[in-house]
Chains A and B, each alone.
Chain A
Amino acid sequence: MAWFKRCTAVSAEVQAVDLGFLTFQNTSEVLRAQKVLSRAGWKIRVMGPPPEVRTGCDLVIEFPLMEELRIVKTLADAGVKPENVVPVASPLLKPVDLYTITDFPEHLMVRAANMKITVDRHSLVIVNISGGGCPDVPFLAAAMTGKHLSKAPQPKDIGHTLCAYALQLAYEEMLKRCSP
């Protein structure tokens, strides 16, 4: 039994360090890094940082730790330098999922970081955009509210702020959840 417990603990540890995350000086660096790595075909995710490593920027990039050297080189070739590379060595260091899904009887809400999008489940019409605090949020809300999810303009095409970026993530997650 003791052997079993030891084995379990070891395998949990191995699993925990499979992932790492990159922190950056500011959000625009995170967004640049995401573009560079996605274009290069790396499987990465933009996440919220665990509280222990918050640097003032509220996004990090989760990546497969085994690929650290190649990923950092890909970024360096593009002129992007992460502030820190952190292995996910304990559950407390796990990046936080950016998405919160709230199920209302007739509506579905997806929140990504500080932005929320709500659609009517049956018609898939966007009924509300809220959150943020960036200057373009009222514009984004006016442009998207009342439109079908698939026909609304995408925040990445019409917005310029971190709120627009977060809303784009929420929009994409909503599209995924509402696709047949």
Chain B
Amino acid sequence: MSTTTVDARGLSCPQPVILAMNQMKTQRTGEFCVLVDTDTSKENVSRAAKSKGWEVASIEPEEDGYRLKLKKG
């Protein structure tokens, strides 16, 4: 099964967080990736994920930002 990727590049806060939260609500467990293009979005998405009991399994720098892998369960 392929991992869902939420593309939040080009969006300003709080939209990356909202997109990630929506995916957490839809998925409830498992893993998915979020693409962001600023340090602030990276921090905000990570913080929101942790507050919802999700683990930030990895943060990989990419050419135009970061790929966050979020995991739960």
Contacts and interface: CB of A to CB of B under 8 A. Distances in A.
Interface of A: 104, 106-107, 109, 116, 118, 120, 125, 127-128, 130-131, 138, 141-142, 145-146
Is the contact region of chain B dominated by helix, strand, or loop, or is it mixed? helix
Interface of B: 13-14, 17-18, 21-22, 40, 43-44, 47-48, 50-52
A127 B14 contact: yes
Classify the secondary structure of A's interface with B. Answer: strand
B47 A145 contact: yes
B13 A128 contact: yes
Contacts of A146: 47-48, 50-52
A138 B44 CA distance: 9
Contacts of B43: 138, 141
A8 B11 CA distance: 46
Contacts of A106: 18, 21-22
A127 B13 contact: no
A107 B17 CA distance: 11
8 cross-chain pairs, A with B, having the tightest CB-CB distances, nearest first: A146-B51, A130-B13, A128-B14, A118-B14, A128-B17, A145-B47, A145-B51, A127-B48
